[in-house]
Amino acid sequence: MMVIGAVGNAGLAAVVPVLTGNAFNAMLQKNPDTSVLLPLALTIGISQVIRGVLQLGRNFGAELLAQHMERQVRDELYLSLLGKSMTFHNLQPVGDTMARSTNDVRELNYMFSPGLNLVVGSFVFILMPIFVAGRYHPTLVITPIVFTILYFVFLARYLKTLSPITDEVRATFGQMNTHLSESLDGVEVVKGAAQENAEVDKFVMNASRVRDAFVRQGDLEGRYIAMLLLGSAYAFGLFHALLLFRNGQINLGDVVAYFGLLLLLQFPTFVSTFAYSQISSGMSGARRILELINRETNLDQNAQGYAEPMKGEVEFRNVSFDYALSGIVRPSRSPQTKGDGIEVTSPSSALADARSAQEEVLHNISFKVKQGQTVAIVGQTGAGKTSLVKLLNRTYDTTDGQVLIDGVDVRDWNLASLRSQISMIEQDIFLFSRSVSDNIAFGKPVATQSEIESAAKSAQADDFILSFDKGYETVVGERGVTLSGGQRQRIALGRAFLTDPHILILDDSTSAIDSATEDKIQRAISNAARGRTTFIITHRLSQIRWADLIIVLRKGRIAAIGAHDELMKTSEAYSKIFRE
């Protein structure tokens, strides 16, 4: 539709100067025949109505293509982002991802409409003088041909120079968005350290880089000589036509018609001053989007993998894990982190830091856990406790050895089936800006209200939820900022209880809960742990005592393993934890 409309629009645009020339010739005769004017006028009027319809079809087709392309790209990009491993998400700044997912995708839309739409239409306009001018005199095609050749030569040079500048514009915008995202995400830290002015200065600096890139783009567009080329074509074309007229080779109507055909070159010339810039911006955005989609990830969804109901038998067999070899930024407990506890940094610097660290977080870990056992994992900060449990659901993959569940390597499991049967509650709880009910039911969207309330009661969350004005329909702030730490953790526990996982992982998940509430939740956890394999990362003796198996990690190695009473007698590393 777009191509047909473009060809029809340009062809009918050429009708006007041709018929106008005929009208001049009719009036310049010794005995002017005015009767031809009405048919010519009607023909011009009808042709331009049809041209308007074709132009509407061209614009509609281009806009339809642009909107369809934007939707498809957004869908594919979103699915790609959800399907990538934590290796990718740990390295990719959220702000830059948002810039690519919104602004760059929108630039791709603009590339098709108006960008490509105008370019296709203008290309046909360039051809019209070449095809039609020869009917008046063969040599009159020289000017439009020379114009076309020079037009595309200068255009190629212009686009070659413009491409890196539009790439810079898109990149600087992504960097500005990254800083803005981090500043807003860590606004509590910024205010607590009284660094508002410093963050504003950094944002202004990033915004200045975006401005400077746009100014360089505008400067290049301003120095594009297309309009000078058009003026030269007018001058030489008209001069050539007048010479032919003087020599009696063409008449005055032909001169008028020919100059009218040259005027058609105004449209592609004017379009070239901004449409190709829009296409270059769209191409830069497309490259950034494709780079994001095609970024390598070691995570395999393994759709055809093992997907049977999980029993809960776990075995770590000579497992080693190295962040550097995995290309992952080491987790951090600092306040300036993302929701998953990973330091926010740029991909290049993150990867460089990871490779330079060369630190093996876990080394030669081997142990077995029977179905339904409760395992407590203890150790000093940085011992590798969280890294160990994240190997179970393939948040990370081992760099050596195997993690087996029910005798099957986790990499051989269907990833969706594996993760749907494992529930992990971390210290840094992430809640969505949705109702309390939706947050609890996040892992089981089809859950009934009674099931949601039952899970909340098991997590000792029902009382404080009912104290809200809207109860379970209360919308929590982004990341759950309107709730206390203890309330967030109890909602997360409710979410875990509702999904009824076969393996439950609690990563210091009661750290923000007072002693009275902890006793209640401890009983709830004890009930929830019955019949399912449970991993608990904690320093609280009250939670460790009743574990069937206690694993003491020290610098990524198993320092001791056994029951509480045994380890208190035989393990200096274990007893030291409680003395401290």
Domain CATH code at residue 378: 3.40.50.300
Residue 571 in contact with residue 578, Cβ under 8 Å?
no
Residue 193: pLDDT over 70: yes
Q: Judge whether 306 lies within some domain.
A: no
Same domain, 419 and 271: no
Distance between CA atoms of 171 and 112, rounded to whole angstroms? 21
Same domain, 428 and 511: yes
Average pLDDT, the chain: 84
Q: Judge whether 485 lies within some domain.
A: yes
Q: Judge whether 523 lies within some domain.
A: yes
CA-to-CA dists, residue 578 to 47, 379, 431, 557, 568, angstroms: 91, 10, 32, 19, 9
Give the pLDDT confidence score for residue 342 in this predicted structure. 32
Same domain, 17 and 123: yes
Give the pLDDT confidence score for residue 555 in this predicted structure. 86
Residue 526: pLDDT over 90: no
Same domain, 289 and 370: no
In the structure, what pLDDT confidence band is assigned to residue 479 with cuts at 50, 70 and 90? low
Q: Judge whether 299 lies within some domain.
A: no
Residue 336: pLDDT over 60: no
Give the pLDDT confidence score for residue 334 in this predicted structure. 37
Mean pLDDT of 555-575: 85
- For the beta sheet containing 360-369, the strands, ordered from the edge strand earlier in sequence to the opposite edge, are 360-369, 314-322, 400-405, 408-409
Same domain, 287 and 381: no
Same domain, 482 and 564: yes
β-strand partners of 557:
554
Residue 80: pLDDT over 50: yes
CA-to-CA dists, residue 273 to 153, 167, 168, 198, 532, angstroms: 15, 18, 19, 39, 67
Q: Using CB atoms within 10 A of its CB, is residue 483 exposed (0-12), middle (13-18) or buried (19+)?
A: buried
Same domain, 500 and 399: yes
The CATH number that applies at residue 186 is: 1.20.1560.10
Distance between CA atoms of 272 and 260, rounded to whole angstroms? 20
Same domain, 372 and 278: no
Give the pLDDT confidence score for residue 347 in this predicted structure. 39
Domain residues for the domain of 286 are 2-294
Q: Give the pairing of strands 549-554 and 400-405.
A: unpaired
Same domain, 246 and 377: no
* Among candidate residues 273, 278, 284, 237, the one with its CA nearest the CA of residue 151: 273
Q: Judge whether 339 lies within some domain.
A: no
Token representation of residue 74 = 């957004």
Same domain, 261 and 406: no
Lowest mean pLDDT among 7-21, 357-371, 555-569: 357-371
Q: Judge whether 119 lies within some domain.
A: yes
Give the pLDDT confidence score for residue 324 in this predicted structure. 64
Distance between CA atoms of 178 and 181, rounded to whole angstroms? 5
Residue 341: pLDDT over 50: no
Same domain, 257 and 399: no
Which residue is associated with the tokens 């992430």? 430
Distance between CA atoms of 546 and 364, rounded to whole angstroms? 27
Residue 181 in contact with residue 343, Cβ under 8 Å?
no
Cis omega (within 30 of 0) for bond into 114: yes
Residue 218: pLDDT over 80: yes
φ and ψ of 454, to 5 deg: -65, -40
The sign of the CA dihedral 414, 395, 488, 457 is positive
Q: Over pLDDT 70: what percentage of the chain?
A: 88
Number of domains in the chain: 2
Point out the domain boundary residue: 261, 294, 327. Answer: 294
Q: Judge whether 145 lies within some domain.
A: yes
Residue 194: pLDDT over 90: no
Same domain, 289 and 372: no
Q: Judge whether 357 lies within some domain.
A: no
Distance between CA atoms of 406 and 186, rounded to whole angstroms? 41
Q: Is 64 strand, coil or helix?
A: helix
